[in-house]
Amino acid sequence: MSAPPAPSSSRRATVRSPLIFGGAAVILVIAMALNVKVVKLGSEAAAPPGAFNPQAYGQSTFPKVQAEIEKRAVDAATLAAALAQNADDAAKKYGVPATIGTEYMVKFTGVAGKQTFGVYYVKIPGVPDGVTVRVQMGPAVNGTAVRDATGTITFGQFTNQIDYQNAGSALNNEIKTQVLSKIDTKTLTGKTISVVGAFQYVVPNSWLITPVMVEVK
């Protein structure tokens, strides 16, 4: 009885090829893993060269915006009286035009009242009771009041709307880091505070201040 024929070379190749390809795939995955660089989200390394870096922008720009707002801020009682007399004239004298409403830079010393989700109501001498003044004290700081208040930061300075929005968020983050982190924002009720900040005047007699300076007396 004759022995069965030996498998052909083509048959042997067919049997081994899945193992060869499988091993190659494993080697490829390992090589890719070794070449992966893990970076922290929002860090400079996370952005490709030339891309907008919100964190770096906020750190470099906030001190300039802060100084400009402190320089140009009008006393709250003066602004309230001007708005009550003629809102259009007040906007021309003290305001900065914005896409919605008018931006105002303001300063005051008053007593912090009740707070809701980190937003304090403040009673300010010389500001009528009919004017509601609130101040954002974190942990959330929302809006683009600080970005838009001075009129020096415009959409045309950015590549797209996303970068423009991120610039506003970056400045708000610096408020939390450079301003609000220095005080106990959870225990301000009943205390006298001095504030310099900005707000967007959309609803008459309702001010929501984003602070760039806070001092607890």
What pLDDT digit, counting tens, does each position of 18-72 carry? 444 455 454 544 545 455 444 444 444 445 667 899 999 999 999 999 999 999 9
Task: For residue 216, give the nearest of 193, 185, 183 by alpha carbon.
Answer: 193
Residue 107 and residue 155 in contact, taking contact as beta carbons nearer than 8 Å: no
According to DSSP, the residues that pair with 120 across neighbouring strands are 115, 135
Cα→Cα distances 71→96, 106, 126, 165, Å: 14, 10, 21, 25
pTM: 0.77
Tokens at 101, concatenated: 């409403």
How big is the chain by its Cα radius of gyration, in Å?
30
* CA-CA-CA-CA dihedral for 39, 40, 43, 48, to nearest 10: 40
Q: What is the pLDDT of the chain when averaged over all its residues?
A: 85
C-alpha 120/C-alpha 51 separation (Å) is: 37
Q: Which residues of 183-194 are buried (b: 16+ CB within 10 A; e: fewer)?
A: bebeebeeeebe
* pLDDT at residue number 100: 86
What phi and psi values does residue 11 have, to the nearest 5 degrees? Answer: -65, -40
* pLDDT at residue number 5: 52
According to DSSP, the residues that pair with 32 across neighbouring strands are none
Pick the CATH number of 52-216 from 2.60.420.10, 3.30.310.50, 2.40.50.420, 1.10.3720.10: 2.40.50.420
State what percent of residues in the chain have pLDDT above 90.
74
State what percent of residues in the chain have pLDDT above 70.
77
At 9, the pLDDT band (50, 70, 90 cuts) reads very low
Cα→Cα distances 204→52, 79, 130, 178, 200, Å: 36, 13, 10, 30, 10
Residues contacting 114, CB < 8 A, separation 6+: 120, 121, 189
Of the candidate ranges 97-101, 122-126, 160-164, the one whose mean pLDDT is the lowest: 97-101
Of the candidate ranges 38-52, 129-143, 146-160, 182-196, the one whose mean pLDDT is the lowest: 38-52
* pLDDT at residue number 27: 53
* pLDDT at residue number 71: 98
According to DSSP, the residues that pair with 210 across neighbouring strands are 198
Residue 118 and residue 172 in contact, taking contact as beta carbons nearer than 8 Å: no
Of the candidate ranges 8-12, 44-48, 89-93, 157-161, the one whose mean pLDDT is the lowest: 8-12
Render pLDDT for 81-103 as a digit per residue (tens, 0 to 9): 999 999 999 999 999 998 888 99
* pLDDT at residue number 199: 98
* pLDDT at residue number 28: 46
Residue 163 and residue 58 in contact, taking contact as beta carbons nearer than 8 Å: no
Residue 123 and residue 190 in contact, taking contact as beta carbons nearer than 8 Å: no
* pLDDT at residue number 43: 45
Residue 17 pLDDT > 70: no
Q: How many CB atoms lie within 10 A of CB 99?
A: 9
Of the candidate ranges 28-37, 137-146, 190-199, the one whose mean pLDDT is the lowest: 28-37
